[in-house]
C-alpha cells in the first residue's frame, strides 16, 4: 500500500505544484466496482532487458508512394517506419483489406493516412472515411492528416459531436476528400441527408475494440453497409474479440492480418492502492498526494461526468492547475483542456473514461483512480496513459 507518514497521511515532500489552504470541503463519492480483486491494483513495474530493436524491411523512400509525400515525411525527420507502418503500408498500397492489431502510440495513424493520401493523389475522385470511437481520437487523426497533406490540395473534414452540426453541414457542401468522424454524428448527418457514403471507396475503422466497448458496433455496421460495395476496408484494433471477428467476416474481403506485439504498457507501471479510512476525507488525501514533488503530470479518473467537473473545481480551489474532460463538455472545451495538459499549462487532468483510450499524452507521471473503474479492462486502459514509450509510470487506486 502507498506509504503514509506517522499521521496516517501519505508522505508529503515539498510540492512541485503548490496547493492552497487546506479545508474539509468535499468528500468524494464512494467507489464502485469493488468486485475487482484489490490485489489486481498492486503490482510493481517489471524491470526487463531492452527488447531487440526492430529492423524494418523498408525505409519510407522504398514505398511506392508519390515523391511529394516522401518529402513531407522526410521533412518531419522520419526515415525508418515503425513496425506497423513497415508491414501494413505495402499491403494497403496493394489495395488489400487489412487488419492491424496494434496499440495507440505505434504509428498506426500514419500507417493508414500515407496510403490514403497517395491514393487520392493518384485519383482525385477517391474518397475515404475514417471512423473513430471518440472525438479526441478524431481530432488527433485530423491533425496528423493536415501535417501529411500540407500543400497537396487535399482536404478533410472532422465530423464529431459537441460541435455545431450546421457548421458541419456547410463544410460537407465544400470540396473534401477525407471524412474523419464518430459514429453518432455520422449517423445524424446521414439522417439529415447531409452525408451520402455511397461514393466512399476507402474506410478505416480505428480502435474497433473501443467502438465495441462503447456500444457503437451496430452503428458501425450500419455505416459500413452504406459504403460503396467496391471498397478497401482497413480495421485497426488492440484486440480481436469474437464480435470484432464477426465484423471482419461480414465486411472485409480476404484481409491481411498484421499483428504488432509490444510489451504491455502496464508492465512499465508501478501499481498500488491508497486505502481511505472510515471518515477520512478523500479529497484531502488526494491533496496530500498531489502536493508531493514527483506528481508532475497527473490524470485523475472519476466514475461520472459530474464527479469529474466537481473534483476539478475543488482542486482549483486548493491551488492546483486543473481542468476536466468529460462528455458534458463541448468538443471545443474538451480539446482546449487536452491541449493545455499536453502543453503543460495545467498539471492535472480530471477525466471520465472518455480519456482512458485513444489519448496519447507524453510524460504523464501518475494516473490516479479516484473512483474504482467498472471493469479490470477499463483499469488497464486507464493506467496505460502513463508508463508509455518504455518510461516508468505510477498508478494509484483509491480504495474505501
CA 190 to chain centre: 26
Give Cα separations from 315 to 204, 298, 350, 351, 399 (angstroms).
39, 12, 10, 13, 20
Give yes or no for a contact between 68 and 121, defined as CB atoms under 8 angstroms apart.
yes
Q: Which CATH superfamily is domain 60-259 in?
A: P-loop containing nucleotide triphosphate hydrolases (3.40.50.300)
pLDDT of 47 reads: 58
pLDDT digits (tens, 9 = 90+) for 38-97: 888 888 877 555 556 788 999 999 999 999 999 999 999 899 999 999 999 999 999 999
pLDDT of 19 reads: 31
Is pLDDT of 111 > 90? Answer: yes
pLDDT of 4 reads: 42
pLDDT-derived band at 8, boundaries 50, 70, 90: very low
More confident residue, 104 or 289: 289
More confident residue, 334 or 26: 334
Q: 178 forms bridges with which residues in the sheet?
A: 128, 156
Number of H helices, E strands in the chain: 13, 13
Is pLDDT of 321 > 60? Answer: yes
pLDDT of 7 reads: 43
Q: Do the domains spanning 38-48+264-399 and 60-259 agree at the CATH topology level?
A: yes
**CATH class belonging to 38-48+264-399:** alpha beta
Q: What are phi and psi of 382, to 5 degrees?
A: -60, -55
Domain ranges of the chain: 38-48+264-399, 60-259
Among 48-62, 154-168, 243-257, 383-397, the least confident range: 48-62
Nine cell digits for residue 118: 497517395
pLDDT digits (tens, 9 = 90+) for 194-247: 999 999 999 999 999 888 877 899 999 999 999 999 999 999 998 888 999 999
Q: What is the mean pLDDT of residues 310-328?
A: 94
Residue 17's nearest CA partner among 289, 304, 300 is 289
Among 111-120, 274-283, 300-309, 380-389, the least confident range: 380-389
Average pLDDT, the chain: 86
Is pLDDT of 27 > 80? Answer: no
Amino acid at each position: 500500500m502507498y506509504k503514509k507518514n506517522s499521521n496516517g497521511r501519505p508522505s508529503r515532500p515539498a510540492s512541485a505544484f503548490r496547493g492552497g489552504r487546506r479545508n474539509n470541503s468535499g468528500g468524494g463519492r464512494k467507489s464502485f466496482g469493488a468486485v475487482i480483486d484489490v490485489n489486481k491494483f498492486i503490482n510493481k513495474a517489471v524491470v526487463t532487458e531492452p527488447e531487440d530493436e526492430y529492423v524494418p524491411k523498408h525505409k519510407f523512400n522504398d514505398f511506392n508512394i508519390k515523391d511529394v509525400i516522401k518529402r513531407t515525411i522526410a521533412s518531419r525527420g522520419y526515415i525508418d517506419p515503425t513496425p506497423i507502418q513497415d508491414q501494413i503500408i505495402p499491403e494497403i498500397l496493394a489495395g488489400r483489406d487489412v487488419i492491424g492489431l496494434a496499440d495507440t502510440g505505434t504509428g498506426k495513424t500514419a500507417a493508414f493516412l500515407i496510403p490514403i493520401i497517395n491514393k487520392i493523389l493518384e485519383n482525385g475522385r477517391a474518397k475515404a472515411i475514417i471512423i473513430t470511437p471518440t472525438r479526441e481520437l478524431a481530432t488527433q487523426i485530423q491533425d496528423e492528416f493536415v501535417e501529411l497533406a500540407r500543400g497537396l490540395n487535399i482536404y478533410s473534414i472532422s465530423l464529431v459531436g459537441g460541435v455545431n452540426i450546421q457548421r458541419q453541414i456547410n463544410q460537407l457542401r465544400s470540396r473534401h476528400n477525407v471524412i474523419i468522424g464518430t459514429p453518432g454524428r455520422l449517423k445524424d448527418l446521414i439522417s439529415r441527408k447531409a452525408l451520402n457514403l455511397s461514393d466512399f471507396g476507402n474506410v478505416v475503422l480505428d480502435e474497433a475494440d473501443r467502438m465495441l466497448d462503447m456500444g457503437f458496433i451496430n452503428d458501425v455496421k450500419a455505416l459500413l453497409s452504406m459504403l460503396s460495395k467496391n471498397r478497401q476496408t482497413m480495421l485497426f484494433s488492440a484486440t480481436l474479440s469474437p464480435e470484432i471477428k464477426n465484423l471482419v467476416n461480414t465486411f472485409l474481403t480476404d484481409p491481411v492480418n498484421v499483428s504488432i506485439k509490444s510489451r504491455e504498457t502496464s508492465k512499465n507501471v508501478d501499481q498500488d492502492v491508497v486505502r481511505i479510512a472510515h471518515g477520512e476525507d478523500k479529497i484531502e488525501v488526494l491533496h496530500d498526494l498531489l502536493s508531493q514533488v514527483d506528481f508532475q503530470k497527473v490524470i485523475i479518473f472519476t466514475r461520472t461526468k459530474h464527479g469529474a467537473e466537481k473534483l476539478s473545481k475543488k482542486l482549483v480551489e486548493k491551488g492546483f492547475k486543473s481542468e476536466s474532460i468529460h462528455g458534458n463538455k463541448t468538443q471545443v472545451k474538451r480539446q482546449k483542456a487536452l491541449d493545455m495538459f499536453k502543453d503543460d499549462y495545467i498539471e492535472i487532468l480530471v477525466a471520465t473514461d472518455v480519456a482512458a483510450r485513444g489519448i496519447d499524452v507524453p510524460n504523464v507521471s501518475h494516473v490516479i483512480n479516484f473512483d474504482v473503474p467498472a471493469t479490470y479492462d477499463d483499469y488497464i486502459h486507464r493506467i496505460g496513459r502513463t508508463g508509455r514509450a518504455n518510461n516508468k509510470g505510477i498508478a494509484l487506486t483509491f480504495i474505501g
